[in-house]
């Protein structure tokens, strides 16, 4: 089984991403970061029982002085302030200090919360990401965005905080529910669509193998997606410009998530459908051919993601998108493709967006 290591190039905040099957057992990868240190594993009640014992044994083998664990309830609804407080409680109750290493073991929710806790505890402690969903392996564990939700908005409280290492054990995907696997594929398709047509071809050709969890194939796409994300993040760590292209499909997607109530449509499902809507808008604007737009839709459907928006009504859609944090001084900014394999942000004619939504099935 192939193992990959790549580097996120951020000057003194650079860090490696290790990708491979079985890496949870590789003490040598943890050793430089945890030897002689106290470690706090932050996980949840689903992932902890599956993988925490193995991780703990490896950390001990890697020379960790002590290993503690905090297990949070599972779910986006717990990505909140009271649950975050439990991480600080555990750190303080166990007499953790500035040298303690926080290891986030779980999907994007745990990665975002663990990273935010690490950024704030004693003004910043070392942090390692061990992502266990496909979405977190290809997306949320890379790039340093951490945070929690506020009742008035998703991911509204947070910090940019880079980990010391990302360790991705592809074999953890064996226990991931099918629906979550498809959500990760949405972000993978996105990476191909915005940055690399050859990669999009490869994903399209290998969709059955990816859905069947061929670990060699999954490792390859995790590697390529991380490369694409790392390259964009290296150019624009704090999303002043180009990093925004990673939000392709997200403006429509966030409206779907918010409009349906969080948890009804998963994030990746909303992004998948959001990309199909955005591609259709691009076609109407002459930025994509009809074939390209139809092809992207087919790839989304092949990944077992929804391609038809919920009937929220066009007015509601527009209102939700205007509320989205990517709406800049009143005008909504869209990430639009310049043919497959390239993207940029731009406003779009409101009447055309409305027409697109209506004809795609979002209601009247
Ligand atoms: N920081 C970023 O740049 C960034 C980017 C994208 C998304 N996000 C955030 O990531 C979150 C979504 O992440 P997610 O899709 O990983 O969801 P998640 O963390 O909620 O995980 C999905 C589900 O899978 C379970 N799970 C995780 N790994 C498993 C495994 N190996 N086997 C069995 N079950 C497993 C989890 O317990 C959970 O029930 C959102 O909060 C989103 O805002 C952050």
Pull the structure tokens for residue 27. Answer: 């003490």
**E strands along 181-272, which residues?**
none
Q: Facing residues of 101 across strands?
A: 39
Q: Enter the DSSP assignment of 136.
A: I
Q: pTM of this prediction?
A: 0.96
The finding on whether 136 has its CB within 6 A of some atom of ligand 1 is: yes
DSSP string, 104-163: EEESHHHHHHHHHHHHHGGG---EEEEE-SHHIIIIITSS-EEEEEETTEEEEEEEE---
What was the pLDDT predicted at 242?
Answer: 86
What's the mean pLDDT when you consider all of the chain?
Answer: 95
The owner of tokens 């704090």 is 238
Q: What is the pLDDT of residues 16-56, one digit of tens each?
A: 999 999 999 999 999 999 999 999 999 999 999 999 999 99
Question: For the chain, what percent of residues have pLDDT higher than 90?
Answer: 88
DSSP, collapsed to helix, strand or coil, labels residue 147 as: strand
The finding on whether 130 has its CB within 6 A of some atom of ligand 1 is: no
In this predicted structure, the answer to whether residue 325 has a pLDDT above a threshold of 80 is no
What was the pLDDT predicted at 152?
Answer: 82
Q: Indicate if 178-360 has the same CATH topology as 4-175.
A: no
The finding on whether 45 has its CB within 6 A of some atom of ligand 1 is: no
Confidence of residue 261 (pLDDT cuts 50, 70, 90): confident
The finding on whether 212 has its CB within 6 A of some atom of ligand 1 is: no
**Contact between residue 221 and residue 193 where contact means Cβ atoms under 8 Å apart:** no
User: 79, exposed or middle or buried, with CB in 10 Å at 0-12, 13-18, 19+?
Assistant: buried
The structural architecture, per CATH, of the domain 4-175 is: 3-Layer(aba) Sandwich (3.40)
What was the pLDDT predicted at 240?
Answer: 78
Average pLDDT over residues 197-221: 98
Q: Which residue has the higher pLDDT, 107 or 363?
A: 107
Please give the distance of CA 109 from its chain centroid, rounded to a whole number. Answer: 9
Catalytic residue positions, numbered: 123, 145, 187, 229, 239, 243, 247, 250, 254, 267
Average pLDDT over residues 265-270: 95
Alpha carbons 246 and 122: distance in angstroms, whole number:
31
Separation of CA 194 and ligand 1 centre (Å)? 22
The finding on whether 135 has its CB within 6 A of some atom of ligand 1 is: yes
Q: What is the pLDDT of residues 132-191, one digit of tens each?
A: 999 999 999 999 999 999 888 888 999 999 999 999 999 999 999 999 999 999 999 999
Separation of CA 352 and ligand 1 centre (Å)? 34
Confidence of residue 322 (pLDDT cuts 50, 70, 90): confident
Q: Which of 133, 185, 250 to mutate to test the pocket of ligand 1 (most atoms within 8 A of CB)?
A: 133
In this predicted structure, the answer to whether residue 1 has a pLDDT above a threshold of 80 is yes
Q: Which of 120, 166, 124 is nearest to 10 (CA)?
A: 166
* Cα-Cα-Cα-Cα dihedral sign, residues 220, 222, 227, 232: positive
Nearest-5° Cα angle at 86, 85 to 90: 120
Fold classified for 178-360: Dehydroquinate synthase-like, alpha domain (1.20.1090)
DSSP string, 167-184: EEEGGGGGGS-HHHHHHH
Confidence of residue 238 (pLDDT cuts 50, 70, 90): confident
Domain boundaries, the chain: 4-175, 178-360
For the ranges 34-38, 65-69, 136-140, 241-245, which has the lowest average pLDDT? 241-245
What was the pLDDT predicted at 234?
Answer: 86
HSE-CB for 224 with a 13 A CA cutoff: 22
Closest-lying ligand 1 atom to the alpha carbon of residue 75: 20
């Amino acid at each position: 089984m192939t193992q990959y290591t790549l580097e996120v190039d951020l000057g003194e905040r650079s860090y490696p991403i290790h990708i491979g099957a079985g890496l949870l057992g590789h003490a040598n990868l943890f050793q430089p970061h945890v030897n002689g240190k106290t470690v706090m594993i932050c996980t949840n009640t689903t992932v902890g029982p599956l993988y925490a014992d193995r991780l703990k044994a490896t950390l001990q083998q890697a020379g960790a002085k002590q290993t503690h664990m905090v297990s949070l309830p599972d779910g986006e609804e717990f990505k909140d302030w009271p649950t975050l407080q439990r991480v600080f409680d555990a750190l303080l109750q166990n007499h953790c200090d500035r040298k303690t290493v926080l290891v986030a073991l779980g999907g994007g929710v745990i990665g975002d919360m663990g990273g935010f806790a690490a950024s704030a505890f004693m003004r910043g402690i070392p942090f390692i990401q061990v992502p266990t969903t496909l979405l977190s392996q290809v997306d949320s564990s890379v790039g340093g965005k951490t945070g929690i939700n506020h009742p008035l908005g998703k991911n509204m409280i947070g910090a940019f905080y880079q980990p010391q290492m990302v360790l991705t054990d592809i074999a953890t995907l064996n226990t991931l529910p099918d629906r979550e696997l498809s959500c990760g594929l949405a972000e993978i398709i996105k990476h191909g669509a915005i940055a690399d047509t050859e990669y999009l071809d490869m994903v399209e050709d290998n969709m059955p193998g990816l859905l069947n969890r061929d670990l060699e194939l999954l490792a390859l796409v995790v590697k390529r997606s991380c490369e694409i994300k790392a390259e964009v993040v290296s150019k624009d760590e704090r999303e002043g410009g180009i990093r925004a292209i990673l939000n392709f499909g997200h403006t429509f997607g966030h409206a779907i998530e918010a409009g349906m109530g969080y948890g009804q449509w998963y994030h990746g499902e909303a992004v998948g459908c959001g990309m199909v809507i955005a591609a259709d808008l691009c076609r109407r604007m002459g930025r994509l051919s009809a074939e390209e737009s139809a092809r992207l839709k087919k790839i989304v459907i092949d990944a077992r993601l929804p391609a038809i928006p919920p009937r929220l009504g066009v007015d509601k859609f527009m209102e939700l998108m205007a509320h989205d944090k990517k709406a800049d001084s009143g005008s909504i900014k869209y990430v639009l493709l310049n043919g497959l394999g390239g993207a940029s942000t731009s406003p779009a004619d409101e009447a055309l967006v409305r027409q697109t939504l209506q004809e795609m099935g979002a209601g009247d």
